[in-house]
Amino acid sequence: MLAREMIAAIATPPGRGGIGIVRISGTGLEAMLRGLVGRVPAPRMAELSDFCDADGTAIDRGIVIYFPSPRSMTGEDVVELQGHGGPVVMDALLERACQLGARIARPGEFTERAFLNDKIDLAQAEAVADLIDSASTRAARAAMRSLDGEFSARVTEIDRAVLDLRVFLEAAIDFAEEEIDFLADSDAVERIRAVEGRIERLAIESRRGEALREGLDVVIAGQPNAGKSSLLNRLLAENRAIVTDVPGTTRDLLRADIEIEGVPIRLTDTAGLRAGGGRVETIGVERARTAIAQADLVLAVEDATAVAPGGTTASESLGDVAASRIRVRNKVDLTGEKPGDGGGVIRISALKGDGVDVLRAVIAKIAGVAPGEGAYLARKRHLNALRAASDRCAAARERLSEGFGDLAAEELRQVQAHLGDIVGTTTVDDLLGEIFSTFCIGK
């Protein structure tokens, strides 16, 4: 079996479940186990243990199971840590795993490895491919949402600055005899320091952004007066565990965090979708469309009194939306339609509460099976990549001041690789092309 780098992820759905599982897969897990639980447990035996931090203090106490290769989920060595659920403990365990050499798994990566090691039937290839694809899309969306809105734009800018630096360093290496205005090493060190500062600032700002938005993003959308706000209020009123009740950042988006069957749900109520309103309303509609574009799930609400059961639906007026959607037909208490699920439509009365339990069950089902990683993991992965990029910048400066331009160039290549991990592009760039268009080269 091929030696594979260790990857780690939280394997249980987001939320405050009683038990949370962190799963680690890869080669060399014995050292990881010794660091975490102080020993290598017997294969495939559940053992009670403390999960320890670097200084030996317990992060949590729970069950550890070690599945040596090949008899494991991925076919590689796998460790499962079953601890107390909840974001703080899970975060600490994941952080510790990374400290011990794992990196946070890309969306779908466990499944991918399982497939490549023949743990999943070939017939399931299509499903695996779809999972990787949709999980990546969803994770990217989740991360962008959880981080500052300009996050990826800023990463791209920094990436460009690193590329510019590499152009100088690589040109100085490959065209040493040309009369190019090469950066003096001391200037290059300063410029690397500046890039490092930008990466660190971005990491700090992203870290102290609003609290993690975990769980499913559900947007309520539809025509004006379809009863969207009533639905929001109904879902809030029935929810005993309201976490917060945040007024929207805009006057026309209203947000609230609720839980349905333990899964955190972030609800957003939007302005009614219609063209030709006033300027303020137009802005509201634009924002609604943005929210819809970023959502995991859209509740497309229609007014049963205004739309015939087979008429143009709110769902269709949404246009092309990536997220799953549920068609919700409201005000059935006025039309006499029978509340509940039928024919791809959920009929409710937000006012009376009829049929809302059915809607909640459907939302919970979708939340439970939503593929891929949530915003938390995506964001954690990105912050780790930023940290790694900034560490490499520091190393690049050191190597350069020691007179190892080749090692400094290697460090900067790695900086770009880490930044590329965040924005999802490869950094196999046309470095030579950049050099030729920047400098006059030619002996």
Residue among 53 and 185 whose Cβ is closer to other proteins = 185
User: Nearest distance from residue 396's CB to other proteins, in Å?
Assistant: 12
By DSSP bridging, strand 263-269 and strand 103-104 are unpaired
| Sites for other proteins among residues 265-294 (CB under 8 A) | none
Cβ distance 13 to 85 under 8 Å? no
Cβ distance 343 to 105 under 8 Å? no
70 binds other proteins (CB under 8 A): no
**Which residue type sits at 285?**
V
80 binds other proteins (CB under 8 A): no
Task: List the one residue from 109, 159, 296, 302 that touches other proteins (CB under 8 A).
Answer: 109
Nearest CA-CA partner of 350 in 257, 434, 267, 261: 267
User: Nearest distance from residue 442's CB to other proteins, in Å?
Assistant: 4
| Sites for other proteins among residues 179-218 (CB under 8 A) | 179
| Sites for other proteins among residues 367-426 (CB under 8 A) | 399, 402-407, 409-410, 413, 421, 424-426
In the numeric block, which tokens belong to residue 13?
A: 């759905």
In the numeric block, which tokens belong to residue 177?
A: 């005899």
**In terms of C-beta density within 10 A (0-12 exposed, 13-18 middle, 19 or more buried), how is residue 443 classed?**
exposed
| Sites for other proteins among residues 19-58 (CB under 8 A) | none
Task: Give CA–CA dist 423/421, Å, rounded.
Answer: 6
Task: List the one residue from 133, 148, 341, 391 that touches other proteins (CB under 8 A).
Answer: 133
| Sites for other proteins among residues 310-349 (CB under 8 A) | none
For 285-337, the DSSP string reads: HHHHHHHHHH-SEEEEEEETTTS-TTS--HHHHT-S-SSEEEEEEE-HHHHTP
Q: Which residue stretch of 2-10, 69-77, 204-212, 309-317 sits at the interface with other proteins (rule: CB under 8 A)?
A: 2-10
Element (H, E) at 24: strand 19-26
106 binds other proteins (CB under 8 A): yes
Residue among 362 and 431 whose Cβ is closer to other proteins = 431
Q: Which residue stretch of 42-50, 132-140, 226-234, 330-338 sits at the interface with other proteins (rule: CB under 8 A)?
A: 132-140
Task: Give CA–CA dist 95/103, Å, rounded.
Answer: 9
User: Nearest distance from residue 372's CB to other proteins, in Å?
Assistant: 11
Q: Which residue stretch of 70-78, 129-137, 233-241, 291-299 sits at the interface with other proteins (rule: CB under 8 A)?
A: 129-137
Beta-carbon contacts of 423 under 8 Å, excluding residues fewer than 6 positions away, are 152, 155, 156, 159
Site for other proteins, rule CB under 8 A? 2-3, 5, 106, 108-109, 112, 115-116, 122, 125-126, 128-130, 132-133, 136, 170, 172-179, 399, 402-407, 409-410, 413, 421, 424-426, 428-432, 436, 440-443
